[in-house]
Structure formats: C-alpha cells, structure tokens
Amino acid sequence: MQDVPLARTPDFYSYPDCPPSEVVDSRDRVVVRWSDGVSLDAYGLWLFENQMGNVTVEERTRESMIDPADFPDPILIASVSLAANGDVVVVFDNGRISAYHSGWLRHVAEGQHRPPALLPELEVWTADRFREPQTHHGPEVLADDDAMLAFLSDVTRFGLARLEGLATTKELLADLGGRIGALRDTNFGVTWPVSVDLKPTSTANTSLPLPPHSDLPTRETPPGFQLLHCLVNTCGGGLSTMADGYAVVQYLQDHEPEHYEALTTLNWVFFNRSPQHDHRWSGPIIDATTPGAPLTLRAFHPVRGFPDMPIADQPRAYAALRAFSQLGGSDAFQIRYPFRPGDLVMFDNRRILHGRTAIDANGGRRELHGTYIDHDEVYSRLRVLTRHRPTRTLGPN
C-alpha cells in the first residue's frame, strides 16, 4: 500500500494548479488553451508516455518506462475533458484514462521545461561595469543553501564570482565541490597546483604573464567552470585578469565582421602534449555554431598547435587572432585585481578570458589550487536550490 500520495507529475517539482479554459481533442493530439491566450499542442504519444501512477511513468524515478518500439500505432484519443481541479483528463482508445496536472502542462506551454528556463539570465559586461568580481562570504556559501544560490547565480549571470575569507587548505576545493557536484578530472588531476616555485609543467607554473585565455581547448568539450583558490601569495604582481568573452565576441560581430568571420569559421588544432599524454581537438577560436549551446572560446597560445585550414586562409586567421587577443587584454574589456589568500574565484572557462599579469617572485611564494566542474553540475545544483521556492507563478491566475 502506498504511504505517500502518488506523484502527479513526472518530475520532482510542485506546481500550482492552472486550470485551462478549454481543451479540444483532435484525435491524435489535444489542444489545451488558457484564458490569457497561452496554448499547448500536446501530441497523443507524448501524453501516452507521460501517464502517471506506474502506467507509463515509473513512480520512483519519474521516468518513462515505455520502449519506443512498443508505442501503439496509431495512438488515438477517444475524448478529453477537464477535472474539477483543472487537470486535463484524457481517455485513450484502449480505454485507459489518465489525468495531467494543469500546472505541469502550463509549465511546458511556457517553455519552463527547457534547459535555460530556471537559470539566471546572462549579463554581458565590460570593464566599466565593475572592477572586481561580485564577491560573497566564503564560509557562509559553504554552510548555507541561500548563500550558495546567490553565489552560483552570480557565477552564471556574469560568468564569474568570488568567495573571500575561506580557509587556506587544500581540502577546500573538494568541500566546495561536494556542495555543488562532481569535479572534473583531467590529466592534471582532479585538483592541481598553480605555483611559481614548482618545476614548471605548464606555462601557468612559471612567473610569465598569462595573456587572456581559456583552459583545455584541446578537448572536444572544454571544462565548463574553473575554480582557483589562493592559499599563499607573498609575491608582487600577478594580478588576476578577466574579460567577458560574450562582450568581446559581440564587439567583433558589430565592429570587425571580417575578423569575427575568420574566428568563427577557421579551425586550429589544439594540442596538450607530455610524455604520457596527447590530447587534440580542432575547432575555431569562437565556437558559437550550435544555436542554444553556450559560447565556447578556444584560446590558449601554448597549446594552439597547428592551423587547420588552407594556407590561403592563414593570413586572415592570424590577423583575426591578433585582434581577438588585443581586445581580450584591453582596458575596455579586461578587469585586473589582486588575488588574496583565502580568495576563490569561480568562472566560466568557456566564456571568460582569464589570465594574470607577470609575477615578481623575488623571495615570495604564490600557491594556488585549482579544479574544474562542468556546466551540467552547476546548473543542476542551481535548479535544485530553486526547486522549492515559491517564485514561479504560472499564469493566468
């Protein structure tokens, strides 16, 4: 016997009822209309595979149980009506009767089921918007869901945000990851040091300046976010630099279309090499070709190995690359600020061009600790943190 009420929707959200004003059966679909003009065309097979109560949706997982090979053909709707609470009641030709939550149908009609719907809107910024990242109190973010939500919302909105006042221990990144989602392992390890007193394994571990770049363009899908935690810093120089890739891309699109075209269409082979590794991927510097997909910048000169284009295209490819890098490091787009022990900056590795000014290591020590976490993990945590908030009012009530 069931000791909790059966789920009314194939997910883990609570929706207010949102009774439609009209439902119309068109044999293979149902048209649901609300009084404010919003409507939903619900195809019969989609309704069929979303029947609750262990009919076609499994009660515990809220996932479909039906193999597409077993879809009835044809699926026809005998009748449709509205229940007293506003649920849409469908009678299928096979006699099965199923009810669909009006608020759940409404959330589909409003597009709230789509991936970006529950996330903060992006805000494109340049250096006149702020001089340092939006900053949150680290210990509070580690301890409190509302503080974590505010932090991750800023990270998603601006592409970066900072925590301050954190412990300067190497375990901290794993603790923070444990509150967000799985950290992404790479050939540099799950977490990795960035330290000027190490034997260099990459340009990051020297005192050289790091021009605006994104990490691991050598991968089919470069890491979504990067976290850098400052443990020790007694060196001069070494200011962190950040620029919003969306702003740079927008500027190129509007003012330098020939460069924009070269940067979005001409591919380069990126190449991470070591005695044990050989990671390669070929792609454009600005990878914005899939509609709806997040921007992916591929920009890191130490691992940009080969032009992957005819020689005739290389002069404009190099010219465009020079323009892109100059913009990303310019005063108009780039912010520069000190990295203090106990600070952690989290930024979108595919959107933000990050770097640092040269380090004066004369007698000083600078130890950072870094990790990656993919967009999927962060966006999932954000959605779950907003799941029980009464912020979503579904019209027309």
Which residues make up the interface to Fe ion (CB under 5 A)? 215
State the nearest-atom distance from the C-beta of 229 to Fe ion, in Å: 14
State the nearest-atom distance from the C-beta of 135 to Fe ion, in Å: 21
State the nearest-atom distance from the C-beta of 216 to Fe ion, in Å: 9
Q: How far apart are CA 116 and CA 121, in angstroms?
A: 8
> Tokens 């603790």 identify what position?
175
Q: Which C-beta is closer to Fe ion: that of 302 or that of 364?
A: 302
Backbone angles phi and psi of 227, in degrees to 5 = -120, 125
State the nearest-atom distance from the C-beta of 133 to Fe ion, in Å: 16
State the nearest-atom distance from the C-beta of 186 to Fe ion, in Å: 12
Give the bridge partners for 232, in sequence order.
367
State the nearest-atom distance from the C-beta of 241 to Fe ion, in Å: 11
Question: Are the C-beta atoms of 102 and 108 separated by less than 8 Å?
Answer: no
Q: Which C-beta is closer to Fe ion: that of 47 or that of 321?
A: 321
Strand order in the sheet with 304-308: 278-284, 267-273, 304-308
Distances in Å between the Cα of 329 and the Cα atoms of 24, 254, 333, 350 are 58, 19, 7, 16
Question: Are the C-beta atoms of 163 and 141 separated by less than 8 Å?
Answer: yes
Q: How far apart are CA 156 and CA 382, in angstroms?
A: 9
Residue number with the shortest CB distance to Fe ion? 215
Backbone angles phi and psi of 146, in degrees to 5 = -65, -40
State the nearest-atom distance from the C-beta of 203 to Fe ion, in Å: 9
Alpha-helical regions (H) of 82-211: 102-109, 138-143, 145-158, 172-180
Q: Which C-beta is closer to Fe ion: that of 10 or that of 222?
A: 222
DSSP 343-364: -EEEEETTTEEEEEPPEE-TT-
Q: Which C-beta is closer to Fe ion: that of 87 or that of 215?
A: 215
Q: Which C-beta is closer to Fe ion: that of 158 or that of 192?
A: 192
Q: Which C-beta is closer to Fe ion: that of 18 or that of 216?
A: 216
Q: Which C-beta is closer to Fe ion: that of 215 or that of 374?
A: 215
Q: Is 247 exposed, middle or buried (0-12, 13-18, 19+ CB in 10 A)?
A: buried
